[in-house]
Amino acid sequence: MAILGSLLLPLGLFLCLGLLCSPASCISHNDNCMLFSKVIVATYSGMHANPNVYKSNTVYTVSVPVNNSISSVVLRAIDQHNSVIGSWQKADKYCSSSVLYHMKSPHSKLFKAKWVSPSSRNITTVKLQVFTVDFHNMARVSFKILKRNGLKLTTTRTTAKSSANRAFLSPMSDAIQILLVFLTSKLLF
């Protein structure tokens, strides 16, 4: 048992290091538009996209309800392979994987932005991600999925694991975390 424990310890440390340095958990560290003190998943955001299906080389209007506690909005669009796609128009700040818009009027009730989809025909699904950020740098995240071929627009929900992971965790990271907990429990008990 001692030999097995001594072999598992380096493996557990290696998995932990891999989790800390994986692109899924470090994405906000590479994108200075997405440094939040806390991320909360919005149960209902009222976010809309027009048109509501995915089409290549199309201008979309993305609208999100806001209030006077919102200081900025961060947006990004990713395809089915989690690659950032398209371009946002007239953003205040362009980052490596997202854009930032500052709220110009504290009395605004609806924020709108324009997104241009790429001309590629290989894209089948696009996830529009919206982070409404308050003055304490806390973000509420919501998602809209646009599908090609007239499939229904859907809202997806995820859970924010911790502020250390910021906004995104991949299924692979979740699996590594579960494995790490399992290995640690085996070493301790």
Order of strands, sheet of 99-102, starting from the edge strand that comes earlier in the sequence: 38-41, 138-147, 125-134, 70-79, 99-102, 93-94
Q: Which residue has the higher pLDDT, 99 or 154?
A: 99
Res 105: pLDDT: 84
Q: Which of 49-63, 140-154, 161-175 has the highest mean pLDDT?
A: 49-63
Residue 171 falls within a domain, yes or no?
A: no
Res 138: pLDDT: 94
Tell me the average pLDDT across 135-143: 92
Instruction: Point out the least confidently predicted range of 10-19, 78-87, 180-189.
Output: 10-19
Is residue 144's pLDDT more than 50? yes
Is residue 84's pLDDT more than 60? yes
Res 107: pLDDT: 83
| Per-chain mean pLDDT for the chain | 75
Residue 37 falls within a domain, yes or no?
A: yes
Residue 174 falls within a domain, yes or no?
A: no
Residue 175 falls within a domain, yes or no?
A: no
Closest CA to 143 of 92, 91, 135, 132: 132
Residue 95 falls within a domain, yes or no?
A: yes
Residue 56 falls within a domain, yes or no?
A: yes
Residue 20 falls within a domain, yes or no?
A: no
d(CA 47, CA 11): 43
Q: Where residue 146 sits, what CATH number does that domain have?
A: 2.60.40.10
**Number of helices and strands (H, E) in the chain?**
3, 10
Res 170: pLDDT: 46
**Total number of domains in the chain:** 1
Kindly indicate the confidence band of residue 89, based on its pLDDT and cuts at 50, 70 and 90: very high
Residue 99 falls within a domain, yes or no?
A: yes
Structure tokens of 39? 């991320």
Res 33: pLDDT: 81
> For residue 150, what are the domain limits?
33-158
